[in-house]
Chain A
Amino acid sequence: MATSPQTSLRSPLGRVRGLGSAKEGTHHWWAQRVTAVALIPITAWIVYSLLSLAGGDYIDYLGWVRNPVNSTLIILLVAVGFHHAQLGLQVVIEDYVSGHALRVVSVLAVKLLCAALAALCIVSVLIVAFGG
């Protein structure tokens, strides 16, 4: 690595701004924090909802999901939750899986699986929310 200012082709300003490849060096870190903050109020809401649903039957569930505020918050929980999980699992894989090919395949598998499951959850919520 060319870290000495004398040998580097990058300007001092470019270096101090810390913009990595494609200028997204801090994107992963920042996205993990943004989703973390978003999950704090969402967690409070889902715990409250689960407690009020506990002991209820299917009709109670339908009524809960069909409330537009609830269906919106479930979808947000799913989207933000899976995104946060996927970002975290990526870091764990990058730390502990040593082979390059296996690491890339594992990270991709986690990302695709999270995206697929999130889509499945959201479609399921919409079916109930709009269902007759």
Chain B
Amino acid sequence: MASATKPHSRPLSPHLQVYRLPLTAILSITHRITGIGLSLGLLLLTWWLVAGAYGQGPYETFQTVLTSWFGQLVLFGFSVALYFHLCNGIRHLFWDAGKGFEIGATQRANLIVLAAATVLTVLTWLLAI
């Protein structure tokens, strides 16, 4: 037990609201958030495939929505989430194999994940437009 004269001698666990998360932790929670986003994106995939089965009219309705500015914005967000989740997921598989747990390697991988996701997103949209 700490003595009453030195009340602050023990380390306090950081409170989430005042603690600046390390980049690795930000990427970790982003992996989860993008996973939820991609799951919602599966609804878009469902709409596309079902519209294709219903015929030309429903398919063109889907195309009109998707090529509108709002549809393109959703699609862009989906592509960002997809590439981030893909790249960070691959680094998770390395972790699962027991590799890359040193602080230096983790910080390097953070930057590789962010750079790869950015390059893939930009490249995809350059090819799409």
On chain A, which size bracket covers the interface? 20 to 34
Q: Which residues of A contact B86 (CB under 8 A)?
A: 39-40, 43
| CB of B111 closer than 8 Å to a CB of A | no
A79–B101 Cα distance when bound, in Å, is 32
Chain B, residues 24-38, CB within 8 Å of chain A (1/0): the string is 000000001001101
Describe B's contact surface by its main secondary structure.
helix
**Is A89 a contact partner of B36 (Cβ separation < 8 A)?**
yes
Question: Is the CB of B56 closer than 8 A to any CB of chain A?
Answer: yes
Contact of B53 (CB < 8 Å), options: A81, A82, A92, A123: A123
Q: Is A124 an interface residue (CB 8 A)?
A: yes
Contact call A58/B60, Cβ cutoff below 8 A: yes
Query: Which of B50, B93, B128 meets A37, CB within 8 Å?
Result: B93
Q: For the complex, would chain A's binding face be called helix, strand, loop or mixed by DSSP majority? A: helix
B45 on the A face (CB < 8 A): yes
CA distance A125 to B49 in the complex (A): 6
| A78→B45 contact, CB < 8 A | yes
- Which chain B residues (3-56) contact chain A, with CB distance < 8 Å? 32, 35-36, 38-39, 42-43, 45-46, 49-50, 52-53, 55-56
For A74, list chain B residues within 8 Å (CB).
49
CB–CB A82/B124 < 8 A: no
Chain A 64-78 interface mask (CB, 8 Å, partner B; 1/0): 010000000010011
Verify if B77 is at the interface (C-beta below 8 Å from A).
no
* Across-interface contacts of A40 in B (CB, < 8 A): 86, 90
Query: A33 at the A/B interface (Cβ < 8 Å)?
Result: yes
A124 and B56: CB pair below 8 A? no
- With known contacts A33-B93, A40-B86, A85-B38, A121–B52 Cβ distance under 8 A: no
Once A33-B96, A40-B86, A88-B39 are accepted as A-B contacts, the answer to whether A78 and B124 lie under 8 Å apart by CB is no
Q: Does B113 contact A (CB under 8 A)?
A: no
The answer to whether A85 touches B89, judged by C-beta atoms less than 8 angstroms apart, is: no
Judge whether B82 is part of the interface by a CB distance below 8 angstroms.
yes
A117 within 8 A of B: yes
Asked if A120 is an interface residue, CB under 8 A from chain B, the answer is yes
7 A-B pairs within 8 Å (CB atoms) are namely A33-B93, A43-B82, A65-B52, A85-B39, A92-B35, A124-B49, A127-B53
A residues adjacent to B (C-beta < 8 A)? 33, 36-37, 39-40, 43, 47, 51, 54, 57-58, 61-62, 65, 74, 77-78, 81-82, 85, 88-89, 92, 114, 117, 120-121, 123-125, 127-128, 131
